[in-house]
Amino acid sequence: MKYLSIFALLLCAFFSNANNSLPNNRHISIVGTAQLKADPDIAVIHLVVESLKENSLDAKKDVDDRVNNFLKGLALFNINENNVSASSISTNPHYSYSNNDNEELDGYMAVRNLKVTLNNIQHLNEFMDFALSVKIDEIEEIKLQSSKAGLLKDKVNQLAIKNAKEQGHSLANAFGANLGKIYSINSSSNNNRYRYGSNNDIERITVTGSRLNKPGQYLQSNIIFSASISVVFDLEI
């Protein structure tokens, strides 16, 4: 029984060391971080077209006619079919309640959802005006993107690595030690968000037709790319 207890303790010690991501010798753990700002140059716009008619066929035809008019005008903005998704449509009965709380059929509602990628963000306001002029019911969502997102993510990763090295050398020297070899590197985390104005960080902007009855003013925005990486270095005394 005594030998079994010793064996169990040795196993516990082995698995404890195996699950520990830090070395047994002197070491330093660093988290390197970095951020980059970029001006968006692409807008992905989500739109909705709706129609309520006595029967579903009339509702569908009305929606299709308005969508076709919209698609015909996209050439004005150099938008080709590869940058448009307009295939989804749904038709459903639409009900309302009478004064006696009885459910009554109003007709049938047809809905089409569209997604358009505008590669020249300078034409965004003009594009929204056009969409509403051809009776698109709602500009549901606008997501701003950068055509250089891939390059910027790689660059911010390299800056986070550089930051980790600089922190490691600085702290090691402050305590009279030298930074040794890398013991472990955890996968870096990347994210990007949109910044509007000086105080607000938000992920997207939402605009509906009712808000666009008169010219609007849109805040200058930029995209913040950030990265962090966790590194463990050996320390040499």
Q: What is the pLDDT of residues 149-163, one digit of tens each?
A: 999 999 999 999 999
pLDDT computed for residue 195 by the predictor: 55
Give 164-218 pLDDT, tens digit per residue. 999 999 999 999 999 999 999 886 677 776 654 333 333 333 344 433 344 454 5
pTM of the model: 0.67
Domains and their CATH numbers in the chain: 24-39+148-236 (3.30.110.170), 42-145 (3.30.70.2970)
Spatial distance between the Cα atoms of 146 and 127, rounded to a whole number of angstroms:
18
Could you tell me the CA-to-CA distances from 151 to 140, 148, 163, 188, 225 in Å, in that order?
Answer: 29, 5, 18, 16, 11
Identify whether the C-beta of residue 167 lies closer than 8 Å to the C-beta of residue 221: no
Maximum distance among all Cα pairs of the chain, rounded to whole angstroms: 87
Taken as a whole, the chain contains a residue count of 237
Spatial distance between the Cα atoms of 82 and 234, rounded to a whole number of angstroms:
52
Give 99-154 pLDDT, tens digit per residue. 777 888 999 999 999 999 999 998 999 999 999 999 999 999 999 899 999 999 99
Three-class SS state of 94: strand
